Structure 1
Amino acid sequence: MTKKPRLAVLLGDPAGVGPEMGVKLLARAENRDAAELLLIAPPSVLAAGEKIAGTKLDVIALRPGDPLRFEAGRITHLVQPEPAGFAKLGECSVPAGQAVLQALTVATELAKHGAVQGILFAPLNKHSLRLAGMDEEDELRFMQQRFEVPGFTCEFNITDQLWTSRVTSHVPLREVADLITQESVGEAVHIIDKALRSAGIARPRIAVSGLNPHAGDGGSIGLEEIEVIAPAVERLKRDGLDASGPWSPDTVFIAARRGDFDAVVSMYHDQGQIAMKLMGFERGVTLHGGLPVPVATSASGSAFDIAGKGIARIDGLQHAFDLCVQIAARA
């Protein structure tokens, strides 16, 4: 692309810190210079975020159906309908979930038609989304359905230079082992390899975690490593990927933090998330892999406990913004 990428920006769950974080991010002149920014939000959610953040944004207000237009240094605000009800700070609710689902739907439609090249959203709350009627496992699968993307998608979590993907995500632990197959392991590695290349890493070094303690300890603590994960890694090597493992889950992140790998593929959500959040919760980024445009957010959640206090940090959301701009500009 020869011009700035255009990003859709969403303010997240109205009952959490999302609106405050989104306004703080948009208030930074360097961010408004880095991309054309299309804010998708109801007026009340924007106003609440401005009040908590203590700043007023300079916006061009458009109604749905108006031609999109942008001006240097300003934010275009695509005004959304107000949610049917009040989203009380610090509480999950149907109105809060409805506001987020509406914004996600509009953003994916715009991306499908090429009107935006990336989507950035402030923290949302999955329980509010489900209260509002989301049937999918999470917001990634919700967007996957609207993008009509078949096959494997995955959340990437990024802290500084280290990336992770996972074979299973928001599913009960009792279901995890049955979902670990050679095909699912291969898909999780291929998708993060492709994403790292799109972010500028020519040949990503990818560690694949085991499932069981000590990676099965030679078969004495489970056979998944021998029967499933190791054969999947060998197949990946034959495909030309720089993949290795299965590594013991309790030590692989020590090597990764040391710089031995660009990414770790874990078998389930907490196996990777706990390690990554300990290494840099405030700086962490979540990138949704497998979608046609980059979709990013901070790794931190909606933080109901500090909602409305004006103290939410935006380090992670800033890193998410920077990564989204970088990938969108390379597309």
Structure 2
Amino acid sequence: MSELPVVGVLLGNSAGVGPELVAKLAVKNFYADYFRPVIIGDVRMFEHGLKVIGGDVPHYVISDLSECDWTRGYPVLDLKDQDPEKVVYGEANEYCGASDLLQLDTAIDLCKAGKIEGFVFGPFHKGAMKMAGLHDESEHTYLAHAFNLTTPFCEVNMMDDLMTVRTTSHIPISEVSANITEQNLREAIELAEITGESFGHKPRIAVAALNPHCGEFGLCGREEVDVIQPTIEKVVKETGWNVTGPYSADTLFISALAGDFDVVVTMYHDQGQIALKLVGFQRCITVAGGQPYPIATCAHGTAFDKVGKGTATTDSFERAVKAVSRMALAKRAKA
């Protein structure tokens, strides 16, 4: 275990199932095969999660990562900010949103200081974070600002070994076509390449079409002819990356899910989300694509309807743990 990466495990939003998920994997000793975990959050919320699931595990509070000794159990970097008696479970609130941001800030600082190699986090709640002062669109934008990123970044959806990257993301469908530009598509393809490489290999990238039947050579839309195909050709010529397409979106995922591609670049949010979540919702995770450190979380949210029942499944969170481990080891190998 001494050779495994040191990775932060953030409890997530206190009003949701995050503390329960973190506790369940601790009781199962799941983390031990993938990294040396440092639990980040209020120790009382971790213990609350243990109580909810009816389990227990050796753990101890640390104030600095130099105090970690995994032979003693799980080290908990106690943020001392969440009293379980004050948490309003099952709803978004400023009190818990502030903790989400504190957990993020703590993990960011630890990454920058070289004390952890990445982190996995229980589900945050964007609405609660905004109540607490988040001005960015999401935690991914917040991370990018904190890390001073100048290269493309976005949440990357992943199921098993297949990833999807979006050319456009959280915008209305009515605005998608206008945002299918050479620059936006180039950035999406670059993000696909960067994220694929973060798992230790050169990815096979497929680009989806926007229009039915791939636009029928301009008879059913011009985006493929005017933007998508020319951009793919330019990128391949300039970089040598393994990028092909455009492919009709209604058939592309048949071959992608069969293992023919590693990453699919989609034109809009639901084009890839529907395919992956339909096939394997519990197997989906979200990777913080383009960030300088391995970061991932489960694809589902805070599951307010399940909080406190101990019934939330850990499938997605387990895969997030595995993904961060793979990326951390790949980053080590590349260094």
Q: TM-score normalised to the size of structure 1?
A: 0.92
Q: Which residue does 2:232 correspond to in 1?
A: 233
Asked if the contact 1:286–1:298 (Cα under 8 Å) also holds between the matched residues in 2, the reply is: yes
Structure 1 segments unaligned to the other structure (5+ residues) = none
Q: Which residue does 2:189 correspond to in 1?
A: 189
% identical equivalent positions: 37
Deviation string 1:131-155 (CA, Å, 9 cap, x unpaired) is 2221111111111111111231022
Does the residue aligned with 1:72 lie in a helix, a strand or coil? helix
* Alignment of 1:180 onto 2:172: no
Q: Which residue does 1:298 correspond to in 2?
A: 298
Asked if the contact 2:65–2:115 (Cα under 8 Å) also holds between the matched residues in 1, the reply is: no
Does the residue aligned with 1:304 lie in a helix, a strand or coil? coil
Q: Which residue does 1:166 correspond to in 2?
A: 166
Does the residue aligned with 1:306 lie in a helix, a strand or coil? coil
Q: Which residue does 2:129 correspond to in 1?
A: 129
Residue type of the partner of 1:216? Answer: G
Cα gap change, 1:237 to 1:66, in 2 (>3 Å): closer
Asked if the contact 1:137–1:170 (Cα under 8 Å) also holds between the matched residues in 2, the reply is: no
Asked if the contact 1:33–1:73 (Cα under 8 Å) also holds between the matched residues in 2, the reply is: no
- Separation of aligned partners in 2, 1:263 and 1:37: 29
* Alignment of 1:62 onto 2:62: yes
Residue type of the partner of 1:222? Answer: G
Q: Which residue does 1:205 correspond to in 2?
A: 204
After TM superposition, the structure 1 stretch with the greater mean CA deviation from structure 2, 173-182 or 79-88, is 79-88
- Separation of aligned partners in 1, 2:300 and 2:204: 26
Asked if the contact 1:32–1:73 (Cα under 8 Å) also holds between the matched residues in 2, the reply is: no
Deviation at 1:30, TM superposition (A): 4.3
- Separation of aligned partners in 1, 2:179 and 2:98: 31
Cα gap change, 1:233 to 1:99, in 2 (>3 Å): same
- Separation of aligned partners in 2, 1:89 and 1:307: 7
Q: Which residue does 1:96 correspond to in 2?
A: 96
- Separation of aligned partners in 2, 1:278 and 1:119: 27
Deviation string 1:289-331 (CA, Å, 9 cap, x unpaired) is 1111110111122111212111111111111101111211222
How many residue pairs get aligned? The number is: 328
- Separation of aligned partners in 1, 2:308 and 2:213: 44
Asked if the contact 2:215–2:224 (Cα under 8 Å) also holds between the matched residues in 1, the reply is: yes
Residue type of the partner of 1:124? Answer: F
Does the residue aligned with 2:220 lie in a helix, a strand or coil? coil
RMSD (CA atoms): 2.0
Deviation string 1:248-274 (CA, Å, 9 cap, x unpaired) is 222211221122212111112111111
Residue type of the partner of 1:184? Answer: N
Asked if the contact 1:157–1:299 (Cα under 8 Å) also holds between the matched residues in 2, the reply is: yes
Deviation string 1:109-135 (CA, Å, 9 cap, x unpaired) is 110111100110012222222222211
Residue type of the partner of 1:224? Answer: E
Deviation at 1:228, TM superposition (A): 1.2
**Aligned ranges 1:289-328 → 2 under 5 Å:** 289-328=289-328
- Separation of aligned partners in 2, 1:293 and 1:279: 29
Cα gap change, 1:211 to 1:76, in 2 (>3 Å): same
Deviation string 1:155-201 (CA, Å, 9 cap, x unpaired) is 22111121111122233333333332212212212222232233133
Deviation at 1:212, TM superposition (A): 2.8
Deviation at 1:83, TM superposition (A): 4.2
